[in-house]
């Protein structure tokens, strides 16, 4: 949807009034800062206690000096930052096809449209930032109309993917028609027939199709009944392509090929180091990977990403299970995975360890499955037969078998 | 944390706390208790990762992003289906009683938006972030942010009237 409304009088007033409205909100800032720091200290302490105690941590420490201690406490902090770019793209496992140029984008769009006259074409190729795009003015003989196509990726199955293809409620946006269709192959496409200006101060019609494939391709097609999105006089009663034609245009295979040709990061802004929220939330993911109906979870680490844990019980005693997900640990691979590590068909290495828990209480053992993919992405899961690091064993061996730990560590769910 | 770094953090927190708090008040649509909680949690997270945060080009912007995600996480935990707060927001007394009608109106309208839509409004119109930046802060696609933005503006127009200024001011 290549239009940006920022700058309408309503928006300008909204901005101004928000500022005015918050002016009166103030609080004891010193108390806030003190309380915040306290929380930080507590958080740090908890992570250290959880991570340092087990064998997993000591393994990691060999190679990278504290990678498991969480953001900010180890020398590997920058790796978490890199995870923004590398951890989220699952649609690009195959070798990247050759890039598509802006000129090719224009030719593709012209080729897909019914016969007519084309002018004012502009485009970006798959290697250009912020991502491939083409727009032109099309005239089928009944009036010039702007048409544009934007390409990108969304995380398959995510809220974003759903929101992209869900018709907005009519009380929120004025439009004449909207429908969402599921195509053969599983793609979902929304066609919205609305207006360029939500307040209808000019009646320029803006029709768009938003298509998302199960692999996460996102194709966005727009057309107007004017030669430009904004500021051009209405040239015809309606945009040239019908809803069905829009749908078909969005579904053209050429767009998906172009998206496949995008380098993994062109559709995203430059990665910014982020503390916690860029990979999956560990505890809920771990929870979803447990055998169903066996365990009661009594404690979890919340929605933190990177590192998380669960305390679970199958009725025979508590277990502490922790997982660490790291974006690029390739430089520590040699230290973490010896020559005896198993190598899977796709190159993923798996190392397993069963050792006494270093700081654990009496009888506590730590079972570990460590995995690293060829691109450096690492998932390590460790399990104690006690309810917490430092506590005595509650049972002879941990509840999850090595096979179960392995299955959990190799799950693709960590990299959604 | 080493002393120099601890001092740096403390200074940053002291400078940013006010702004974070005000953002949080908008995000929570005037729930000042929740806003304080969110800011404390945000500062706590920043404390933990300060080594890295201090190296970021724009630590202030980064802090806002952490606040945003803390808020969204809070909302997600509270209820996956809840769309908006129905509780009348707390409104602080500014002493002179100025701007009260405006604040009430705006906050009430914000309170009636789904949490993510409210987040988009706060980022776009109070933080002045672009669609791209908003998408990044919310871990969403630009298209999703645009959709939310259009929807949120439509709803606010409906709640406040097209001429927001006329309606909101006494």
ipTM of the complex: 0.81
> Residue A87: which pLDDT band, with cuts at 50, 70 and 90?
very low
**From the CA of A93, how many Å to the nearest CA of chain B?**
21
- Per mean pLDDT, which range of A85-94, A175-184, A298-307, A362-371 is the poorest? A85-94
**Pick from B36, B62, B168: which is nearest to A27 by CB?**
B36
- Highest mean pLDDT of the ranges A57-71, A178-192, B49-63: A178-192
Give the residue from chain A lying closest to B55, CA to CA. A273
Average pLDDT of span A345-350: 91
pLDDT band at B93 (very low <50, low <70, confident <90, very high): very low
Q: What percent of chain A has pLDDT over 70?
A: 75
A11: Cβ–Cβ under 8 A, 6 or more apart, which residues?
A: A5, B125, B153
User: pTM (2 decimals)?
Assistant: 0.40
Task: Give the pLDDT band of residue A79 (cuts 50, 70, 90).
Answer: very low
| Residues of chain A contacting residue B17, judged by C-beta atoms under 8 Å apart | 29, 32-33, 36
Residue A351 has pLDDT above 80, yes or no: yes
For the ranges A156-170, A328-342, B61-75, the one whose mean pLDDT is highest = B61-75
Q: How far apart are CA B163 and CA A201, in angstroms?
A: 13
The values of phi and psi at residue B150, to 5°, are -60, -45
> A159–B144: do the CB atoms touch at under 8 Å?
yes
The secondary structure of chain A, three-state, reads CCCCCCCCHHHHHHHHHHHHHHCCCCCCHHHHHHHHHHHHHHHHHHHHHHHHHCHHHHHHHHHHCCHHHCCCCCCCHHHHHHHHHHCCCCCCCCCCCCCCCHHHHHHHHHHHCCCCEEEEEEEECCCCCCCCEEEEEEECCCCEEEEEEEEEECCCCCHHHHHHHCCCCCCCCCEEEEEEEECCCCCEEEEEEEECCCCCCCCCEEEEEEEECCCCEEEEEEEECECCCCCCCECCCCCCCCHHHHHHHHCCHHHHHHHHCCCCCCCCCCCCCCCCCCCCEHHHHHHHHCCCCCCEEEEECCCCECEEEEEEECCCCEEEEEEEEECCCHHHHHHHCCCCCEECCCCCEEEEEEEECCCCCCCCEEEEEEEECCCCCEEEEEEECCCCCCCCCCCCCCCCCHHHHHHHHCCHHHHC
- Chain B residues touching residue A23 (CB < 8 angstroms): 94, 99
| CATH top class, domain B98-170 | mainly alpha
Residue A322 near residue A381, CB atoms below 8 Å: yes
Walk me through the domains of chain A, giving residue ranges and CATH numbers: 47-86+273-415 (no CATH), 102-260 (3.40.1000)
Sort residue A390 into left (φ over 0), alpha (ψ -120 to 50) or beta: left
Out of A16, A24, A130, the one facing B92 most closely (by C-beta) is: A24
pLDDT, average across residues A95-105: 85
pLDDT in the model for residue B164: 56
Q: What is the pLDDT of residue B123?
A: 92
Across chain A, mean pLDDT equals 77
Chain B residues closer than 8 Å to A15 by CB: 125-126, 128
Q: Which CATH architecture has domain B1-82?
A: Orthogonal Bundle (1.10)
Q: Which residues of A touch B161 (CB under 8 A)?
A: none
B102/A218 Cβ within 8 A: no
Substitution target in A25, A220, A278 with the highest count of B β-carbons within 10 Å is A25
Could you say which DSSP state residue B84 is in?
Answer: S
Query: CB A33 to CB B124 under 8 A?
Result: no
Query: pLDDT per residue over B75-84, tens digit each?
Result: 766 543 333 3
Where does CATH 1.10.10.10 sit in chain B?
A: 98-170
User: Using the beta-carbon criterion (under 8 Å), do B162 and A21 form an inter-chain contact?
Assistant: no
User: Mutate which of A275, A280, A282 to disrupt the B interface (most B C-beta within 10 Å)?
Assistant: A275
Summarised one tens digit per residue, pLDDT across range A379-392 is 989 999 988 776 78
Is residue B113 over pLDDT 60? yes
Of A58, A54, A135, the residue nearest A398 (C-alpha)? A54
- Candidates A11, A220, A276; nearest CB to B143: A220
Contact B48 A23 (CB under 8 A): no
Residues of chain B with CATH 1.10.1740: 1-82
Whether A160 and B149 lie within 8 Å, measured CB to CB: no
**pLDDT tens-place string over residues B19-42:** 999 999 999 988 888 899 899 989
């Amino acid at each position: 949807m290549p239009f940006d409304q920022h700058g309408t009088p309503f928006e300008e007033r909204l901005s101004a009034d928000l500022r005015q409205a918050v002016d009166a909100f103030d609080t004891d800032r010193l108390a806030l800062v003190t309380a915040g720091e306290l929380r930080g200290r507590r958080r740090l302490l908890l992570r250290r206690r959880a991570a340092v105690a087990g064998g997993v941590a000591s393994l990691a420490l060999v190679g990278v000096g504290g990678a498991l201690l969480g953001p900010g406490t180890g020398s590997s902090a920058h790796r978490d930052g890199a995870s923004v770019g590398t951890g989220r793209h699952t649609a690009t496992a195959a070798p990247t096809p050759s890039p598509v140029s802006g000129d090719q984008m224009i030719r593709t769009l012209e080729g897909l449209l019914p016969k007519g006259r084309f002018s004012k074409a502009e485009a970006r190729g798959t290697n250009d930032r912020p991502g491939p795009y083409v727009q032109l003015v099309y005239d089928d003989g009944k009036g010039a109309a702007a048409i544009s196509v934007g390409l990108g990726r969304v995380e398959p199955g995510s809220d974003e993917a759903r929101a992209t293809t869900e018709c907005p409620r009519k009380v929120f946006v004025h439009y004449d028609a909207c429908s969402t269709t599921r195509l053969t192959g599983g793609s979902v496409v929304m066609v919205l027939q609305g207006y360029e200006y939500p307040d209808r101060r000019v009646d320029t019609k803006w029709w768009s199709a938003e298509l998302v494939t199960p692999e996460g391709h996102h194709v966005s097609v727009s057309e107007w009944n004017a030669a430009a999105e904004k500021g051009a006089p209405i040239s015809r009663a309606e945009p040239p392509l019908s809803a069905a034609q829009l749908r078909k245009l969005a579904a053209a295979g050429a767009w998906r090929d172009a998206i496949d040709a995008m380098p993994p990061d062109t559709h995203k802004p430059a990665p910014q180091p982020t503390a916690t929220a860029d990979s999956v939330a560990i505890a809920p993911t771990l929870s979803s990977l447990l055998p169903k109906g066996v365990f009661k979870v009594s404690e979890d680490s919340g929605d933190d990403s990177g590192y998380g844990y669960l305390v679970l019980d199958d009725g025979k005693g508590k277990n502490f299970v922790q997982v660490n997900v790291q974006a690029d640990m390739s430089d520590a691979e040699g230290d973490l995975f010896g020559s005896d590590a198993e190598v899977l068909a796709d190159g993923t290495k798996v190392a397993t360890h069963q050792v006494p828990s270093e700081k654990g209480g009496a009888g506590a053992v730590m079972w570990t499955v460590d995995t690293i993919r060829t691109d450096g992405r690492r998932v390590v899961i460790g399990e104690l037969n006690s309810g917490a690091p430092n506590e005595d064993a509650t049972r002879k061996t941990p509840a999850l078998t090595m096979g179960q730990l392995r299955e959990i560590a190799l799950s693709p769910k960590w990299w959604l | 944390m080493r002393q120099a770094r601890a001092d740096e953090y403390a200074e940053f927190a002291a400078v940013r706390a006010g702004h974070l708090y005000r953002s949080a008040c908008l995000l929570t649509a005037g729930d000042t208790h929740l806003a304080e909680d969110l800011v404390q949690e945000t500062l706590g997270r920043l404390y933990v990762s300060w080594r890295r945060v201090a190296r970021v080009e724009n630590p202030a912007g980064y802090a806002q992003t952490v606040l945003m995600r803390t808020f969204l996480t809070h909302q997600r935990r509270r209820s996956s289906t809840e769309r908006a707060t129905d509780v009348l927001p707390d409104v602080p007394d500014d002493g002179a009683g100025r701007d009260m009608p405006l604040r009430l109106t705006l906050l009430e309208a914000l309170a009636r938006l789904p949490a993510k839509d409210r987040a988009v409004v706060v980022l776009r119109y109070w933080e002045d972030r672009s669609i791209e930046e908003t998408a990044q802060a919310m871990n969403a696609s630009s298209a999703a942010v645009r959709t939310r933005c259009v929807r949120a503006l439509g709803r606010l127009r409906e709640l406040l009237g097209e001429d927001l200024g006329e309606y909101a001011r006494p």
